[in-house]
Amino acid sequence: MKSFWCGAVIPNCEATFEAATEDEILDRVAAHAADDHGLDELSPTTVARVREVIVDQ
């Protein structure tokens, strides 16, 4: 299981995500970023940062 805490990338966000794979987490983070942070698309830099802070549970 992989998990990701949004606050590691976007300060003051408490959202956390768990999924079987990094790609699944990225899908959910992209939807969350659009809904809650007004980011229509994650930049390659942001995606790289997200992948860096995803941890194995």
Binding-site ranges for Zn ion (CB under 5 A): 6, 10, 13, 15
Rank residues 35 and 56 by Cβ distance to Zn ion and give the closer one: 35
| Minimum distance of Zn ion from residue 24's CB (angstroms) | 17
- Asked if 32 and 17 count as a contact pair (C-beta separation under 8 A), the reply is yes
CA separation (Å) from 20 to 1, 24, 35, 43, 54? 5, 7, 22, 23, 11
Strand partners, 17: 4
| Minimum distance of Zn ion from residue 15's CB (angstroms) | 4
Rank residues 21 and 34 by Cβ distance to Zn ion and give the closer one: 34
| Minimum distance of Zn ion from residue 4's CB (angstroms) | 10
